[in-house]
């Protein structure tokens, strides 16, 4: 089975994905890391040198490649992946795949992101918590229609990682 974790940046996709994969004895992959290895370039460099449209095409290509694999896999997607190129439809129609939306509130996301701005190019320029809240809120408004199509939703606010992973396992089996 391929377990797909979707959600906004800092919702816990990579952290929880690693723990879940270990618990299930599955392979773990972060789609952005996979793209960087395949393209031998950082995602930020791909964006800067070739543009977002090129990056989104690569994202779709590699997502389809990974969905076609018969391996047991936990796959963490970038926050925008489900929102482009009919990727969410591709995920929902793929065989032996389960998608889970890791839902975090705006206050939770602000708390997690405000100290990570230097490593998150999308928000590095945002100076205040209020502006960050506005940015996140706008994105969530645009993206929630895609995220909400996932096979299951788990809220991550005020929960420890191991408890969330237990919820994930219950959703899967």
The residues with which 98 forms a beta bridge, in sequence order, are 3
- Confirm whether residue 108 is marked as ligand binding: no
- Confirm whether residue 133 is marked as ligand binding: no
- Confirm whether residue 120 is marked as ligand binding: yes
The answer to whether residues 112 and 10 touch, using CB atoms and an 8 Å cutoff, is: yes
- Confirm whether residue 37 is marked as ligand binding: no
Sheet holding 97-103, edge to edge: 27-30, 73-76, 2-6, 97-103, 152-155
- Confirm whether residue 143 is marked as ligand binding: yes
- Confirm whether residue 10 is marked as ligand binding: yes
- Confirm whether residue 103 is marked as ligand binding: no
* Residue ranges of the binding site for Mg(2+): 14
Binding residues: 10-15, 32, 56, 79, 120, 143
Q: Tell me the binding residues for ATP.
A: 10-15, 120
User: Residues marked as binding for substrate?
Assistant: 32, 56, 79, 143
């Amino acid at each position: 089975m391929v377990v797909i974790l979707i959600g906004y940046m800092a919702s816990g996709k990579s952290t929880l994905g690693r723990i879940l994969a270990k618990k299930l004895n599955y392979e773990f992959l972060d789609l952005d890391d996979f793209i960087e290895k395949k393209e031998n370039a950082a995602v930020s460099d791909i964006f800067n040198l070739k543009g977002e449209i090129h990056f989104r095409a690569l994202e779709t290509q590699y997502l389809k490649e990974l969905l076609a694999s018969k391996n047991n896999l936990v796959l963490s997607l970038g926050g925008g992946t489900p929102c482009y190129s009919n990727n969410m439809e591709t995920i929902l129609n793929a065989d032996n795949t389960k998608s889970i939306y890791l839902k975090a509130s705006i206050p939770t996301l602000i708390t997690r992101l405000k100290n990570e701005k230097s490593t998150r190019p999308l928000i590095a320029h945002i100076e205040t918590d209020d502006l960050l809240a506005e940015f996140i809120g706008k994105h969530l408004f645009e993206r929630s229609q895609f995220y909400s199509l996932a096979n299951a939703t788990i809220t991550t606010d005020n929960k420890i990682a191991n408890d969330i992973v237990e919820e994930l396992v219950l959703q899967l089996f």
